[in-house]
Structure 1
Amino acid sequence: MRYLALWSVVVGSLWAGSMASAQEAKPADPATPKVTYDDHVRPILREHCFSCHNQGQAKGGLILDSYAKTMEGGSSGEVVLAGDLESSRLWALVSHNEEPIMPPNQDKIAQAKLDILSKWIEQGALENSGSKAVIKKKNNLALAPTSSTGKPEGPAAMPESVFKQPVMFTPRAGAVTAIATSPWAPLAAVAGQKQVALYNTDSLELLGVIPFPEGIPHVLRFSRNGSVLLIGGGRGGHSGCVALHDVKTGKRLAKIGDELDAVLAADINLDQSMVALGGPLRMVRIYSTATGELLHEIKKHTDWVYSLEFSPDGVLLATGDRSGGLFVWEADTAREYLSLRGHTGGVCDVAWRGDSNVLASSGEDGTVKLWEMNEGNAIKSWPAHGGGAFCVSFTHDGRIASAGRDNTVKSWSGDGNALKNFPAFSESALQTVFTHDGKRVIGGDWLGNVRVWDTEETKEIGTLAANPPTLVMQVEAAKGAIVPAEQAAANAAAELAVITKQATDKDVVVKAAADKYNATVAAMQQLAADQVAKTKELETSTATAKTTADAKVAAEAAAKLATDEKAAADKLAGERDAAAKAAAEAAANDKKTADTLAAEQKPEAAAAAEKAAAAATAAAMADQQKAEAAVAAAMKGEALTKAANTLAAAAKAATDAQAVVDATKKKLEEIAAAMKTTEAEIAATKAEADKQAKERADLEPQISAKKVAADAAAAAVNATKEKLAKIEAELAEFNAMAGKLQAEADKAAAEVAASTTAATQTEAERVAAATEMANKAAAAKAIADKLAALQAEYAKAEAEQKKAQEMLAAKEAAAKAMQEKVAAAQAAADEAAAQRKAFAEAYEVK
């Protein structure tokens, strides 16, 4: 840890100069003449102010005709603050910056006189030319406007430019002596060894380290608006004090108190105007934060003061001691307000509820008690921790946290009902506090462990180090983490590439399966369409077949009728032919008989002739009927032929139609068979497509997980590199500050050396001038005694003496100015040396 010695001026620059409530003013530039009360200011006051502010008539209790009385001030307090022009009431009134303007009923004092008054105050309000300025140090403590709750109007203060370089690093800290959280920001302060570590309670990131070179911090408090951190502590049996630091910058604003033992309890009030502290000396002291002056001493306690806290409204102050004494005081006057009796052991801690109406106390008797502030009665008491309750604190919503010798941290409702028990430490739990939002609890134990839990689930979120690693250690750790982080990122990227390729390959298989399934579905849809078409075609062809069948039946009936009619006609024609033949034969026979009878001129001839004529007529008629029957038979033949042709056509049409029907039915059967086969193919291809899709879908969570892992690994690499760059920048800034302050210290030392040399030379010149003046004086006296008559010569010697005196005065003034310059250079060198020494003590190599 030798490198810490190189930084032995950095932190000193942040807190040196606030080590006491008063300091010597730096001597003015030798070229600037001193402005004093006796020589310059009193004449001005005599002309304009003595008529109303003298020892015989002191309006407003203010006397200005005496330096001591002027510095004492009037009934409203001091009117001249040495070195602080803006805070000096006298200047505000005579410069007409405030009312009532002074002097009254007169014009404003001339500007030249005002310049003298302002220089007098700025140079330290010297009484005379031999005075040495002592300027009261006014601490640079910003008193931000506060509401009744202390909540700031804008964003709550968070560390912005606080160095993260610890004073020391230990693998394991000592017992956790103090933990505090900002009331309005995610910020926690953890006491370590000669330092306080600041953490973000949301991310648990280290935000800065504030040195406390005075020793071990035993108490930490944030101001009610969260802008100031109070650190109290010291070295047991040796020294103790309270330091106030700006939360944003870490700069020390003030050092309060100079105890002979460590400070064990301390707090700052609502408006940040007072600090109270106590410890083994059994006294409570209240100081002004503005000047560091002691305002009150409370000597009521008979044992070590373990705990104290101002009420949130700043009206009251509660204090507790090792013998069970518990008191409430008026904060402004330190007058006793209440004595609270009930603890049978030491009062380890006190805490106020946000409304200032209820005080909680915890003690070595193991109880936590709640006290009301009207009569001082205990309104609730419960055994919180066996063996002793060491710590108690409130949230904004009134919940309570406590820690004790039973190794546990617990939370309670505002009326003392148990809420949560957090996982136990292996040793006594010493400290606990809620975060600003009440969502987390921080606890610390005897072994130096500091843990952060979720208040609802009591789950441990992380840990905080009281003595964190140095910046160099953090740089080395970050460098060491980059290679494995990059390897992990490469592995994660490779795994992502493998699973991504599997997914890509599977996408091809899924697409092929889906395409096959879609093709099968399309084929099925085509078959269904063909089936519909063929079914419709079957309906049409069946109708056609029925029509042709019906036509065939009709044709068959017509053909049969035609056949029957042809047969009947042929039969009738045959019968008529036979009848005609018979009639012809009968006629021929009758004619032959008639002819024979006629020839024989037989009487029967006439009758036979008539019979032959009748027979001839009958034969003619029979022929005619035969001809008619033949014609009818021919017509019936033609009709039969036509009917036969029609029947043949109808038969063919019926056969053809039936063939179409049969063909359509066969096609439908083929389609049905094909559809059955395709349906099975659809089921198979769908199952395959679903299987492949599921396998692809199953890859997606793996891809997502691998991608998240790869992204996280890459982010981890970037975060580690960013962290390394950030830490290296912080280390460089820290080293630069160390170098800068070392250079300033070297420059101050060189100026001291140069001023010392010049002062030595000036002193030699002064001695020579004094010697010459003495010689001239002796010569003048000798001439006066021996040559009284030579008045002219005497006058010449006297003139030379006067000249020598003037030279002596000038050399004496130069010597005095040079001495003052040497003193200024020495003061600067002493201050730089003090800074180096303070930082070296803070970052002492063990």
Structure 2
Amino acid sequence: MNYYLSAVVVFGCLIASPALADEATVSFRKDVAPILLENCLACHGAKKAEGGYRVDSYAELRKAGDSGEVPVAENPDDPSELLRRIACEDEFERMPPEGDPVSQEQIAVVEKWIAEGAKYDGDNPELALALAIPPPTYAAPPEKYAHAVPIMAVTFSPDGKQLVAGGYHEVTIWNVEDGTLARRIGNLGQRVFALRFSADGKSLAVGCGEPGKSGEVRLVDFASGDVKGVIARTSDVVLDVAFRPGTPEIAVAAADSSLRIINTATLEEVRTIASHADWVNTVAWSDDGSILVSGSRDESAKVYKADTGELVASYLGHGAAVKGVSVLADNAQVVSVGADNKLHRWQVADAKKVAEVPLGSEGEDVTRVGGELYVPCAGQRLVRINLADNKITQDYKGHGDWVLTIAEQPGEVSDVGARLLVSGSFDGELRIWKSGDATLVRNWIAKP
């Protein structure tokens, strides 16, 4: 189909859509960007640019691909290849090439936007497409849950007196002293997979999303509970986040196989690391922020130079999905856990394994505290491992389902005179332990 016939088809759509004709000026951010994100980004992004053409930002959208055809014409009366390809009826030319074609209503929106001058209604035309779209405001979660939700992320508040746990479109905040619900912070993605406080304790980064559809990192002012903004967006859920020590940067691991570094002060994307071939499950920085390590469902763990993103090492010893990683204090070794039911300890220099610890079930994550490691396991337990001899020194038992996440209390502020540990499980239970001897302090189902 030639351009002129395409234009007739599109014009017909406009005539048949009186509601659109009555609308105000089409917004790139509100109206056009979501169409591109839904239909075009998978094949025309920074990681995969079919035909040399990208749509991952307004600036890239306006650049011609390998064909040299003008994607969006400066003069609305001139042909625009973007419009021609999405409106084309020839299945060999129409975009996207697979799946459902762009709807007539969406084509009409793009046509109207181009007719109005194809303007960008924002401050930064180079902003990533996903970030250019105004963030949605989510409906309030139910007052009371019919069922508990899996606790996939939990952390102590900076003062150690409260617990923050992932909920449904929210985080719930519980008093450590008695396990009562203190407050709730909503307007978050459907499921919460990661929680991290900034170094000053004022901001809470929430990695969340709707599986298979979208993901984001929302930055929350913890004192007020207000969502300050969306600092990262992905095409599938965000599975982990980690602040880089001494900087405003945050690493974002997502199920779309991407690893992104975002400057939380400027909202600029420092870099995207496209090294993994499947979900990036976990990410961690070294204590000094010079090394970044990630683990993926592609059965690898990788180490990068933090300043450049250069790949330093790739460890394939698990032969199964990697779910948790941590850089040891000397930056010379990494520990990782995953679906092979073992903890691996390996060298950064040559990616060679130096030790392994059988866990008895899948390791869901790993947290290093000084010379010890804590590993939540699918076998309804949490274990502590001594790095001096690579042996399990404590077994925390009692959960009735997979233990997915843990956190250690900062300081010594508990009502039992000891440092505390919290673990969360798939059945929605929170358990508080004395970290030293695995004494259970209290437990409850974190269900409002």
CA shift, 1:325, in A, is 1.0
* 8 Å contact kept, 2:357–2:391: no
Alignment of 1:548-563 (within 5 A): none
Letter in 2 for 1:251: D
Choose from 369, 387, 407 the match for 2:380.
407
Residues 219-254 of structure 1: per-residue CA shift (max 9 Å, x gap): 112234433211101011111100112233323233
CA shift, 1:256, in A, is 1.7
Distance 1:354 1:134 in 2: 43
Asked whether 1:351 is paired with 2:331, we answer no
Cα pair distance change 1:262/1:296, threshold 3 Å: same
Distance 1:338 1:426 in 2: 37
- Matching residue of 1:279: 254
Alignment of 1:10-159 (within 5 A): 134-135=122-123
TM-score normalised according to structure 1 size: 0.34
CA shift, 1:363, in A, is 0.7
Alignment of 1:325-404 (within 5 A): 325-353=300-328, 356=331, 358-384=333-359, 386-395=360-369, 397-404=370-377
- Matching residue of 1:423: 397
Alignment of 1:497-576 (within 5 A): none
CA shift, 1:353, in A, is 4.2
Cα pair distance change 1:394/1:171, threshold 3 Å: farther
CA shift, 1:287, in A, is 1.9
Unpaired segments ≥5 residues, structure 2: 1-28, 31-118, 126-139, 412-417
Distance 1:428 1:451 in 2: 13
* 8 Å contact kept, 2:312–2:348: no
- Matching residue of 2:211: 236
Distance 2:182 2:437 in 1: 27
Residues 183-208 of structure 1: per-residue CA shift (max 9 Å, x gap): 66344321111111233435545443
CA shift, 1:318, in A, is 1.0
CA shift, 1:168, in A, is 4.1
Choose from 441, 445, 448 the match for 2:421.
441
Letter in 2 for 1:398: G
Letter in 1 for 2:227: R
- Matching residue of 1:800: none
* 8 Å contact kept, 2:141–2:168: no
Residues 393-441 of structure 1: per-residue CA shift (max 9 Å, x gap): 122x322111212111111223322222112322222222222248222
Cα pair distance change 1:402/1:133, threshold 3 Å: closer
Letter in 2 for 1:391: D
3-state SS, counterpart of residue 365 of structure 2: strand
- Matching residue of 1:461: 441
3-state SS, counterpart of residue 307 of structure 2: coil
Residues 13-47 of structure 1: per-residue CA shift (max 9 Å, x gap): xxxxxxxxx99xxxxxxxxxxxxxxxxxxxxxxxx
Residue identity over aligned pairs, in percent, reads 23
CA shift, 1:216, in A, is 0.6
Letter in 1 for 2:259: V
Q: Which of the pair is proportionally richer in strand? A: 2
Cα pair distance change 1:136/1:380, threshold 3 Å: same
3-state SS, counterpart of residue 264 of structure 1: strand
Choose from 236, 260, 265 the match for 2:240.
265
Distance 1:436 1:346 in 2: 30
3-state SS, counterpart of residue 389 of structure 1: coil
- Report which stretch shifted further, 263-272 or 349-358: 349-358
CA shift, 1:451, in A, is 1.0
Q: What is the aligned residue count?
A: 311
- Matching residue of 2:148: 173
Letter in 2 for 1:431: T
Letter in 1 for 2:214: S
- Matching residue of 1:701: none
Cα pair distance change 1:167/1:270, threshold 3 Å: farther
Distance 1:257 1:274 in 2: 12
Distance 1:281 1:338 in 2: 22
Distance 1:195 1:282 in 2: 25
Cα pair distance change 1:439/1:322, threshold 3 Å: same
* 8 Å contact kept, 1:175–1:448: yes
* 8 Å contact kept, 1:440–1:455: yes
Cα pair distance change 1:279/1:379, threshold 3 Å: same
Distance 2:157 2:343 in 1: 23
Letter in 2 for 1:401: Y
- Matching residue of 2:60: none
3-state SS, counterpart of residue 444 of structure 1: strand
Letter in 1 for 2:432: V
CA RMSD of aligned residues (A): 2.8
Distance 1:202 1:376 in 2: 44
CA shift, 1:182, in A, is 4.8
CA shift, 1:323, in A, is 2.3
Distance 1:372 1:185 in 2: 34
Residues 615-669 of structure 1: per-residue CA shift (max 9 Å, x gap): xxxxxxxxxxxxxxxxxxxxxxxxxxxxxxxxxxxxxxxxxxxxxxxxxxxxxxx
Cα pair distance change 1:311/1:211, threshold 3 Å: farther
CA shift, 1:465, in A, is 4.5
* Bigger Rg over Cα: 1
Distance 2:405 2:422 in 1: 8
Letter in 1 for 2:195: L
Distance 1:297 1:414 in 2: 32
Asked whether 1:324 is paired with 2:299, we answer yes
3-state SS, counterpart of residue 422 of structure 1: strand
TM-score normalised according to structure 2 size: 0.63
Asked whether 1:188 is paired with 2:163, we answer yes
* 8 Å contact kept, 1:224–1:269: no
Choose from 184, 199, 204 the match for 1:209.
184
Residues 523-576 of structure 1: per-residue CA shift (max 9 Å, x gap): xxxxxxxxxxxxxxxxxxxxxxxxxxxxxxxxxxxxxxxxxxxxxxxxxxxxxx
* 8 Å contact kept, 1:191–1:466: no
CA shift, 1:372, in A, is 4.2
* 8 Å contact kept, 2:428–2:447: no
Residues 726-749 of structure 1: per-residue CA shift (max 9 Å, x gap): xxxxxxxxxxxxxxxxxxxxxxxx
Cα pair distance change 1:464/1:426, threshold 3 Å: closer
Choose from 174, 193, 205 the match for 1:199.
174
Q: Which of the pair is proportionally richer in helix? A: 1
